[in-house]
Amino acid sequence: MSDIMRLYLDQMFNIRVADALRAEGYDVLRASEIGQARVDDKEILQKSTADNRILITLDDHFGDWVILPLSRHPGVIRIKVNPTASEKIIGIILPFLRTHRQEEFKDHLVIVSEYKAKWIMTAL
């Protein structure tokens, strides 16, 4: 199994975030690069799961079980940041990812902010 973390960036992330992650050696796909720029959250999650990629999003719907229930998946990281500038996002996600391995995220929603990370198991 490869040690390279596989990531899927939701449609709101621009190329600067993807480039920063790629420069660190992560295998990154952006939703907007593969024709998913305007699809709903369920399709985004299905694609990341089918490709065995951890989904990274800013979307609050991930974690709202009424809107989008989560069960088995490679992992979802929801970044809580304000403002949502690329530099701010990069400054939060890179240090966080450096301290973890892909398999740790399986079936977890992780809500990451500047000073903390909350891990939620989504499958029993």
Q: How do residues 38-66 score in pLDDT, each as one tens digit? A: 777 788 888 988 999 999 999 887 665 44
Is 62 a domain residue?
yes
Total domain count, the chain: 1
Is 27 a domain residue?
yes
Q: What pLDDT shows up at residue 63?
A: 60
Is 1 a domain residue?
no
Q: Which long-range contacts (CB under 8 A, 24 or more apart) does 95-102 make?
A: 97/5, 97/21, 97/24, 97/26, 98/24, 101/3, 101/5, 102/5, 102/6, 102/54, 102/74, 102/75
- pLDDT by residue (tens digit) across 2-39? 589 999 999 889 999 999 999 999 999 999 887 766 77
Structural domain span for residue 71: 6-121
Could you tell me the pTM of the whole model? 0.89
Task: Give the residue from 65, 66, 48 showing the smallest Cα distance to 57.
Answer: 48
Is 88 a domain residue?
yes
Tokens standing for 84? 């949502």
